[in-house]
Every structure is written in structure tokens, then in C-alpha cells.
Amino acid sequence: MVFVRLCTPFVRLGDIIPIVRSRRELAQENIRLHAENDRLQQRERALEETLAEYQRRHALVAVKLHQSLQTIGARVIGRDASNWWKSIQLDRGSDDGVRVNCPVLNADGLVGKVISVTRGESRVLLLLDPNCRVSALLQKTRETGVIAGMEAGFSRAPQCRMTFVERNAKVAADQAVITSGLGGVFPKGILIGTVTDAHLNAQTGMYQDVDVKPAVDFARLEEVVVILGQG
């Protein structure tokens, strides 16, 4: 109380002398800016979280785009017993409307297609399997080709190869590869992966082979969406 009384003249003096006043204002402004900075940082964190959620959901647009398609969610309940074939088992079967050749996706992109169905379960051949062939399209240049899994060497990330790409086509790295819709099995526009490398076919030299990194992390598949058909 005594201290306040003692300081009051100096405070009033500060109102009169600009330099003292500006220093006091600076201190107040500093406090205000600190508070605003904290508030903005909190807001940024909230926005980052919203953005991350948006990005996760944005990948689902591949499914949502096809409003007319009838889909069903399924859980992965088993993997392939072999080291040679790439497949997973789902907890949905013919009782749920799943049929052979139904396309399977997740939020990241194309997973594969159903190859066998029982009443309550189904087996999906993954995109990584050399026997799973998908008609594909380079998103920017619109070049078509056929994608199939590649035998990955030890400690190499799984890859796919797009074959029958026109010899003179310009193929840029990191370009997105999507399903072309040709063949009638997979709907058009589902993300498959991104281009990592391209080279002429070693055997014939007539076409380009394009290496594609799949968009889906096949080691961490938990839930997928099965496309049952037109709604």
C-alpha cells in the first residue's frame, strides 16, 4: 500500500514524460503479445490436428467420390500362411454381399480384390501379389498400363510395377497412379501409389516399365472397405 502510494507520483510523471510512458506501454504490450502468442500457438495446434484429420479423411474421398457405389466395411482377421502369395482374410463373406472380384480399398488407396468367399469370410489378393493385375493410369499424363506386384528383395519396401506404358510417354517421379476403370473390376480414380522410377522394358524395349510405391501400408492393414457394386 505504501509502495503504491510512493510510486503513484512516478506513474503520473510517466504519463507526462513520453519516454517513461512508452516503456510502460511496451511492458504492457509485451505481456499482451505473450498472451496472444500463447493463444495463437494453441490455435495452431488445434488447426494442425484438424488438418491431420482432414488429410486422413481426404483419402476417403476416393471412396466417397463414387457416391453411387455400394460399400461395406470389413476387418482384417488373418494373413497369408505363405511367404509367396500376398493375401488377407476379411470378416465379411457372401452373407454380407461380398463376391469374387469385389475391389477392396482403405483410406490410403487400393488394397486388392476378393478372390474367394465363404458365407462369413473372404480372402483378398493384395495389390502386392504378382497375380493381382490392375489397369492403371498415370494421373497427370493419362498414360495407361497394367500394374502388378513385384517380388521384393530382402529389406526392400514392397513395390508394384506398371507395365505396357507407352515407350515415349513422359513419366515423372512422384506422379500419382490411379485405377483407369478399364476391365470393369476396379472403379476409376482410386489411388494406387506414386511413381518411383521408370525404364524401358529390358526384354522387348517396346514399352516402359514404371516402378510404383503403393499408397497403402500393407503391413498395417486393419480395416478396409469392400465395394459391393453399384448402389
Partner 1 sequence: MILTVLIVLSLLAAALQAALPTAWWLGGLRLELLPALVACGALTLPRHPVSALALAVVAGLAHDALSAAPFGLTALAYGTAAGAIFLLDEILDPDLPWVQMMAGAVVAAIAAVAACTVLGFSAGAVGKLVVLALISAVLTPFVYLLLGCCRHWWKSVDA
CB of 155 to partner 1, least distance (A): 6
The span from the CA of 143 to the CA of 78, in Å, is 36
CB of 90 to partner 1, least distance (A): 13
- Using alpha carbons, list the distances in angstroms from residue 150 to 23, 113, 181, 222: 69, 17, 22, 23
- Using alpha carbons, list the distances in angstroms from residue 121 to 100, 109, 111, 115: 12, 22, 17, 11
- Which one of residues 153, 184, 205, 231 is an interface residue with partner 1 (CB under 8 A)? 153
| Residue 152 near partner 1 by CB under 8 A | yes
Q: Within 118-147, which residues bind partner 1 (CB under 8 A)?
A: 123, 125, 129-131
C-alpha closest to that of 228 among 61, 107, 135, 92: 92
CB of 197 to partner 1, least distance (A): 16
Measured from the CB atom, is 4 or 219 closer to partner 1? Answer: 219
Listed ranges 10-18, 42-50, 76-84, 184-192: which one lies at the site for partner 1 (CB under 8 A): 76-84
The span from the CA of 143 to the CA of 136, in Å, is 8
Measured from the CB atom, is 76 or 137 closer to partner 1? Answer: 76
174 grid coordinates: 512422384
CB of 98 to partner 1, least distance (A): 16
**Cβ contact 138:175 at 8 Å:** yes
User: How many residues touch partner 1 (CB under 8 A)?
Assistant: 24
Residues that bind partner 1 (CB under 8 A): 78-87, 89, 115, 123, 125, 129-131, 151-156, 219
